[in-house]
Amino acid sequence: MTHTLILLRHGESEWNAKNLFTGWVDVALTDKGRDEAVRGGVQLKEAGLLPDVVHTSLQRRAINTAALALDAADRHWIPVKRSWRLNERHYGALQGKDKKQTLAEYGEEQFMTWRRSFDVPPPPLADDDEFSQVDDPRYADLGDELPRTECLKDVIARMLPYWQSDITADLRAGKTVLVAAHGNSLRGIVKHLDGISDDDIAGLNIPTGMPLVYRLDDDLAPTVPGGEYLDPEAAAAAAAAVANQGR
Ligand SMILES: O=C(O)[C@@H](CO)OP(=O)(O)O
């Protein structure tokens, strides 16, 4: 039996458009981002890929992307499950900072270490920072698990328990599963699925609003490594633009 998993990064957010490090800051989609989400849903419908269940983060850019895409695919009625474990990587003290200015101030090596190294997190965000989540009611139950910064390794460590408990359960039950999440939480899922090395994952970027489809075998291993974008050319160009942010 083949299992179908669809990964969808949210459409362009207001801070993507402004080129700011975002992380756990709960910014909205832009008009372009909403259009991307609708287009992603139309593509799913045209390809006959109809989700039976959707998993999202607790952040409005992913939540609203899922709603818009599913509405466009006539699947707005399916069950929704949400978890903070699918949130974007917490970007620590970089949250709210301009990517171009950060590159100019700290140089290429430090900038790329913070953006794409596997195990070096940015400096932690202070609890009294305007972009902190310490008083956010949606994370009130997290206690000591509430991050102040994360590297990709940390994201994978907090994402995998949810992958194993909830997402794989739906896949094994034969459901077509949509995961609407974020650039770095989805990079974590892709790294896990494709067995990408800690070094090589630095070169993988996920574009906004473009469904990435994985067909998985009984061991939940991809039958096509890397999965398949429904519009591969547009996805490659958009992923290159993500890689070049700050330049
Ligand atoms: O700012 C962020 O939270 C992420 C995703 O937009 O950026 P980056 O691609 O630089 O990790």
Helix or strand (DSSP H, E) at 16: helix 14-18
Alpha carbon distances (Å) from 16 to 23, 25, 77, 96, 179: 11, 12, 29, 11, 20
Say how many Å lie between the CA of residue 243 and the centre of ligand 1: 10
Reported ipTM exceeds the 0.90 cut: yes
pLDDT in tens, 117-170: 999 999 999 999 999 999 999 999 999 999 999 999 999 999 999 999 999 999
9 is in an annotated binding site: yes
* pTM: predicted TM-score of the whole model, two decimal places: 0.97
Q: What are the φ and ψ backbone dihedral angles of 5, each rounded to 5 degrees?
A: -125, 130
Q: Which residue minimizes the CA distance to atom 5 of ligand 1?
A: 183
C-alpha–C-alpha distance, residues 169 and 175, integer Å:
9
- Specify the CATH number for the domain of residue 130: 3.40.50.1240
Helix or strand (DSSP H, E) at 82: strand 80-82
Say how many Å lie between the CA of residue 86 and the centre of ligand 1: 14
How many domains are contained in the chain? 1
Identify the pLDDT of residue 1: 85
Identify the pLDDT of residue 222: 98
Instruction: Catalogue the active-site residues.
Output: 10, 88
Residue type, 101: Q
> Residues lining ligand 1, judged by CB closer than 6 Å?
16, 21-23, 88, 91, 115, 183-184, 242, 245
Its domain, for residue 27, covers 3-243
